Structure 1
Amino acid sequence: MGYRLKRAAAALRGAMDRGLREHGLTVPQYACLELLDQQPGLSNAELARGTFVTRQSMNVVLRGLQDGGLITRPATTEHGRALPAHLTEEGRRRLAAARGVVYAIDQRLADAVPAERLPGLLADLDRLSAAFDE
Structure 2
Amino acid sequence: MASSQPVSPHPAADVTEHVGYRLKRAHSALRGALDTALREHDLTVPQYSCLEVLALHPGLSNAELARATFVTRQSMNLVLRGLQEAGLTTRPDVVDHGRARPVRLTAAGERRLRSAQDAVYAVEARMVAGIPGTRLAALLDDLDRLVRALDT
Length-normalised TM-score, structure 1: 0.98
Q: Deviations over 1:37-94 (max 9, x none)?
A: 1111000000000000000000000000000000001001111110000101110000
Q: Deviations over 1:9-52 (max 9, x none)?
A: 00000000000010000000000001111111000000000000
1:28 to 2:67 alignment: no
Aligned partner of 1:7 in structure 2 is 25
Which moves more between the two structures, 33-42 or 107-116? 107-116
Which of 77, 81, 89 in structure 2 is aligned with 1:63?
81
Aligned partner of 2:148 in structure 1 is 130
Aligned partners of 1:48 and 1:121: how far apart in 2? 26
Aligned partners of 2:141 and 2:54: how far apart in 1? 27
Give the residue type in structure 2 aligned to 1:91: G
Give the residue type in structure 2 aligned to 1:98: A
Q: What's the C-alpha RMSD, in Å, of the aligned pairs?
A: 0.7
Give the residue type in structure 2 aligned to 1:74: P
Aligned partner of 2:91 in structure 1 is 73
Structure number with larger C-alpha Rg: 2
Aligned partners of 1:11 and 1:38: how far apart in 2? 26
Runs of 4+ in 1 over 3 A off after TM superposition: none
Aligned partners of 2:112 and 2:68: how far apart in 1? 20
Shift of 1:118: 1.2
Give the residue type in structure 1 aligned to 2:148: A
Aligned partners of 1:7 and 1:13: how far apart in 2? 10
SS at match of 2:128: helix
Aligned partner of 2:11 in structure 1 is none
Aligned partners of 1:122 and 1:37: how far apart in 2? 23
Which moves more between the two structures, 121-130 or 93-102? 121-130
Which moves more between the two structures, 56-65 or 117-126? 117-126
Count of aligned residue pairs for this structure pair: 134
Shift of 1:120: 1.0
Give the residue type in structure 1 aligned to 2:46: P
Aligned partner of 1:96 in structure 2 is 114
1:105 to 2:115 alignment: no
1:43 to 2:56 alignment: no
